[in-house]
Amino acid sequence: MQAMSERLSDLDSHVQGAIRVVTFYDTLMRRRVDLSALARSSAGLAVCVVGIRLHGTGRVTRIGPDGSEAPAQGHPPSSTAPITLDDEEIGTVWLERPGRPGPLDEVLLDRLAIAATAVVERYGPARTTMADPALVELVVSSGSDEAARARALRLLEFSADRPIHVVAVRSSLPLDQVGSLICTARVVKAAPLADVGVILATTVDRARFPKGVRAGIGAAESPDRSWQQARTALRFTTPGRPVVRYDELGALALLAHVPPGLARDNNDVSAISRLAHSREDLDTLDAYCATGSLRRAAERLHLHHSSVARRLDQIGKALGFDLTEPSGPLRAGLALTAWRLLADDGHGDRRGEPRTYS
């Protein structure tokens, strides 16, 4: 009789705990919280790391019990539950509890999954990577006042206390795919503007840009100046250097401000333009200017150094100066860069280089 009484007491305690969990999530849903707030509140309730992942975007939110982002190296999930919408699994929630799952973990995850579904239903379109181009243009336009810019950032779900990285992109891949790759765990938005794609991201992992993508990354704190810098950096990208940060350009960025007519009339730039019919010559010259060494250029081109030497001798004759002289690589590199900037600005033709975006 005593054993039965103890079991009923334990059951009653479990039911009361379950009711408190249900009430807790009902309150959160009435407050219309977003996924970040949902994960933060859940981690505080569970007193362990809580994770939420949406399959569509691949974005993962992991929050520790102190309310901050959890370290990358954590415990494996101790229990998981699917997030379902219209009978389709759209994501997963989990707890990273050291040791065995707690007695109320199953109830907590069930309610967390239901709450996450409600958030996705409510904010789903705004939570996607692709954004309203008009809002994105308000953020990056130099003509926007600060109040309009701040409001646009709020509507795009960016926090006022976090820096915004602006990326200019040309890609044959969809912009949302690129955005999800370079910023996997935080807010990222993308939209096409004129002839270039723009990505706004809380963080940018330059190592995760996929093949076939050209990207310029702005460095300024203000989004409008950062957008201008990102577009300038994009113009300096090459097949061998597809991602360029503006602050890495240094004095080279000044070339972007040379009037096109002045650059086009320069003898060295004109000579590069005449070489443009030969992809082989351009690749050889680019490799030599980038490495400053005949042997390293040969390694990059997978050719014997004597073959590269013969090519450089012919290219030097076409350019009208000796590439092996101390100033040769610098002079040729500046001319090649100026020619590329002209080509990118609609005054030439970058043969074989991507100019599409999605």
Lowest mean pLDDT among 11-20, 48-57, 125-134: 125-134
Identify the CA nearest to 168 among candidates 254, 248, 239, 242.
242
Q: Is the pLDDT of residue 125 over 80?
A: no
CA distance 85 to 98: 30
* Cut 0.75: pTM above it: no
Half-sphere exposure of residue 86: CA atoms within 13 angstroms, side-chain side? 2
Q: At 109, which amino acid appears?
A: L
pLDDT for res 345: 57
pLDDT for res 227: 96
CA distance 219 to 227: 9
Contacts of 311 (CB under 8 A, 6+ apart): 280, 281, 284
pLDDT for res 58: 64
Q: Is the pLDDT of residue 352 over 60?
A: no
> Percent of the chain scored above 90 by pLDDT?
35
- C-beta of residue 187 within 8 angstroms of C-beta of residue 158: yes
Identify the CA nearest to 153 among candidates 167, 165, 135.
135
Identify the CA nearest to 126 among candidates 152, 94, 164, 162.
152
Q: Which domains does the chain have, with CATH numbers?
A: 2-127 (3.30.450), 133-255 (no CATH), 258-347 (1.10.10.2840)
Q: Is the pLDDT of residue 13 over 60?
A: yes
CA distance 260 to 347: 8
Half-sphere exposure of residue 222: CA atoms within 13 angstroms, side-chain side? 11
pLDDT for res 39: 92
* Residue 114 CA: distances (Å) to CA of 32, 53, 58, 103: 13, 14, 19, 19
In the three-class reduction of DSSP (H, G, I as helix; E, B as strand; rest coil), residue 81 is classed as strand
CA distance 124 to 337: 44
* Residue 69 CA: distances (Å) to CA of 37, 63, 167, 282: 12, 5, 24, 47
Mean pLDDT of the 214-233 span? 94
pLDDT for res 357: 31
Mean pLDDT of the 97-107 span? 87
Identify the CA nearest to 33 among candidates 160, 118, 137, 125.
118
Model pLDDT for residues 163-218, shown as the tens digit of each residue: 899 999 998 888 888 998 898 767 889 999 878 999 999 889 999 999 989 999 99
